[in-house]
Amino acid sequence: MKKLITRSCEEIMTTVYKPIEFVIDGLIAQGLYILAGAPKVGKSWLALDMCLSIAKGEKILGLKTSQGTALYLCLEDSYARIQNRLYELTDEPTEMLYFSVMSDPIGGGLEEQIEGFVSEHRDLKIVFIDTLQMVR
């Protein structure tokens, strides 16, 4: 049996913890999230808009963003479709937003691919994988 790991009240209250860093103020912090909903309700559009806003340091949904590199794995799209969508959202490109339409699956190289991207882009703020089914 594994021993229960505990911390005392005093230890917790006297430890200086790193504050939570929000990528989208009050909405998305560090961690893993799943954006789920019925088909064709705009999840991919929302993900693209969030990535673009983070890359440009612009507000999204009226909320501040922490500017940095964004990676969007659009695994059911083509670069032509991404281009069309980008032109619907902006006229100004950014060097801080990257796309891929193919990746390895989870447990089959995806983690290493993302780690490689992180090592080249130390200011990476967010990775969107659209859709989870494509990497499972």
For the ranges 5-14, 27-36, 56-65, 104-113, the lowest mean pLDDT is seen at 27-36
Q: Enter the CATH code of domain 19-135.
A: 3.40.50.300
Per domain, the residue ranges of the chain are 19-135
Q: How far is CA 96 from the centre of its chain?
A: 13
Which 3-state string (H, E, C) describes 92-103? CCCCCEEEECCC
Residue labelled with tokens 């891929």:
100
**pLDDT surpassing 70 at residue 133:** no
CA distances to 28, 42, 47 from 36, rounded to whole Å, are: 15, 10, 11
Phi and psi at 23, nearest 5°, equal -85, -40
Q: How many residues does the chain have?
A: 136
Whether residue 52 contacts residue 72, with contact meaning beta carbons closer than 8 Å, is answered with no
- pLDDT, greater one: 32 or 105: 105
Tokens 């799943």: give the residue.
Answer: 34
With bands split at pLDDT 50, 70 and 90, how would you rate the model's confidence at 86?
Answer: very high
pTM for the full model? 0.84
In this structure, the number of other CB atoms found within 10 A of the CB of residue 42 comes to: 11
pLDDT digits (tens, 9 = 90+) for 59-81: 999 999 999 999 999 988 899 99
State whether the Cα torsion 131-133-135-136 is positive or negative: positive
